[in-house]
Each structure stands twice: as structure tokens, then as C-alpha cells.
Chains A and B, each alone.
Chain A
């Protein structure tokens, strides 16, 4: 059983094994945040390591105002932002203006888009960062709206609206990509 207060106290007392326990506990969470938010071609393992080193250095400042996992995720999120070169630009993009994976004219892509799951994965990867962050934190890491607010610094209402609009965007893109196929399927 992972008791965060005990583990934090042990780490602060210099117990490296306790730190290893913490890494084991949260490596999945950190990896998922980094994996989805950081662009391809970057060494995810090195970035994950950087996150845990930051966690270690800043652990003394953790005040238990949130769950430890939320705090670790916020460090992972901010580290991922540092590695996303264009985070300032995408931060201003609205989904209304964003076309996303507009690849309908590319024959090769049309062929690969037969795979709905693969197409959706690519769409998620190409979403503007704020929307992608909310989707990842909610669906992959299973954080609640207030927790996502704490991690990203967005107001709760914005989190909810981003989540709704991101899902709707994915649905609409899927609809335009596959057109009649869903009508033929049994409900």
C-alpha cells in the first residue's frame, strides 16, 4: 500500500528506496502525460527522468493541498510544456479555427484512415495543446475537473468546455472522414 505521507517523509529524511517506490508508483502517470504531450522524436525517458528529479528537488515545498499524484502530474505537465516548442502559439488556437488533420486529399492517408482507431489517435496527437492536455489528463490519467484545473492552471469551467469541445471535434472529424459508414452500422 502506497502511503504518500509516509513515503514523502522518508524521502525527505534521505531514504532513496522510498524515492524508488515513488518513481515506481508514478512512472506510468508521468509517462502518459509526457508521451501524449511531447512531440515525436524526443527522448521520453530522459524527460520522465527530468520530471522525477524536479519532483525530488521540490518535494520539500509540497504542502498536501492536493494529492501527491496531482502535484507530480503538474510538474510533468509543465515539463512537457517546456519541450513543446510551439506551446504559446497553440495556446491561442481555438478549435473553431483549427482544422486538425486535414489530410483528406492525401491518398496514402485516406488508405490508412480505414483504421478508425489509428485515425483518432492521430487526430488526438494533432489537437491544439490545451485540448489535448485536458483529454489526456481526464481520459488517460483519470483526473477530475478540479484536479485538471490544479495541474494546468485552467479554470474548471474551461476544463469542462475544452473537454466537451475536443470530443465533439473528434466526433465531427470522424463523421466527415467516414461519412456514410456509421449510418449503415447497427446502433
Chain B
């Protein structure tokens, strides 16, 4: 015979709270009491934590690497913006005061534009490769 929902609810409460006086449990089937005891015992069973001994350090290293990366990215952006402003300033000043030589200089820069672009791409590629290898090394740590 299966117990009603209310009875099951009450029995779960009693066993969970450790209220196991005979008078209290008299209205329940012995079989159900035994079954619930096993269920609660199994649920309370402590589980082993299987993490490697260096887990904390590994996580901290990953976080530190991320923080460093963010920090250097911030400074790289600041440096890039500063360079841009300086170049703009030099360009505007040079053009304003010495139009002839600055046109020659700009022409020179324009002539080597593909080399400059290639150099810039190489810098970004090296950066990306460096980060990729660093991450792999961290993962293996």
C-alpha cells in the first residue's frame, strides 16, 4: 500500500529533522520509514572533492594573466592614442609652417605605406601568437 502525499510529506519532515520517537512514527509503514532513512542517509553522504593540489594557484595564475593582459592592453591603447595625437600635431604644424618639405615627407610616407601596414600587421600577429602560446602554457600548468 502506498502512502498518501500528506503522509509522505510528514514522514520526510520527521526523518529530516531526526524526530524518530516511536509514537510519532507509529502511523507510518515501517517499510516507508526504512526507505526514507536510506534515501536521507544517501543524500547526506559526504562527497570527495577531486581537485588537483595546485588548483587554487592555477586559477589565480589564470586570473593574474587575464589581469596583466587587460592592463597591458589599456596601456597599449593609451600609447597608440598618444602616438596618433603627436603625429597629427606634427603633421598639422609642419604643414602650416613648411608646406613644401612636409608635402615631400608625406609623399615619402605614402610611398612606403604598404611596408608600414605590413609591419603593423606583423606586430599584431606577434602579439596574438604570444597570447595564444601563453594561454596554452597556462593551461598546461
Contact = CB atoms under 8 A, between A and B. Distances in A.
Contact of B35 (A48, A49, A139, A171): A171
B103 interface: no
A98 B97 CA distance: 84
A37 to B, nearest CB: 13
B35 A182 contact: yes
B17 interface: no
A27 B49 contact: yes
Contacts of A45: 50-52, 55
Interface string A35-70: 110000000110011001100110000000000000
Contact of A117 (B8, B35, B42, B58): B42
A23 interface: yes
A16 B56 CA distance: 11
A135 B43 contact: yes
Interface stretch (B25-33, B81-89, B122-130): B25-33
Contact of A182 (B9, B34, B49): B34
Nearest to A135: B43
A24 B57 CA distance: 10
Interface string B80-113: 0000000000000000000000000000000000
A14 B71 CA distance: 11
B55 A20 contact: no
Contact of B58 (A14, A49, A167): A49
A187 B34 contact: yes
Contacts of A28: 49
A116 B55 CA distance: 33
Interface in A112-151: 116-117, 120-121, 124, 135, 139-140
Contact of A32 (B12, B31, B47): B47
24 contacts: A16-B64, A16-B67, A20-B57, A20-B59, A31-B51, A32-B47, A44-B51, A45-B55, A48-B51, A52-B59, A53-B59, A56-B63, A116-B42, A120-B38, A120-B42, A124-B42, A124-B43, A167-B43, A168-B12, A171-B35, A174-B35, A174-B38, A183-B31, A187-B34
* 8 A-B pairs with the lowest CB-CB distances in the bound complex, closest first: A139-B43, A120-B42, A187-B30, A182-B31, A182-B34, A171-B35, A23-B56, A52-B59
Interface of B: 2, 8-9, 12, 25, 30-36, 38-45, 47, 49-52, 55-60, 62-64, 66-67
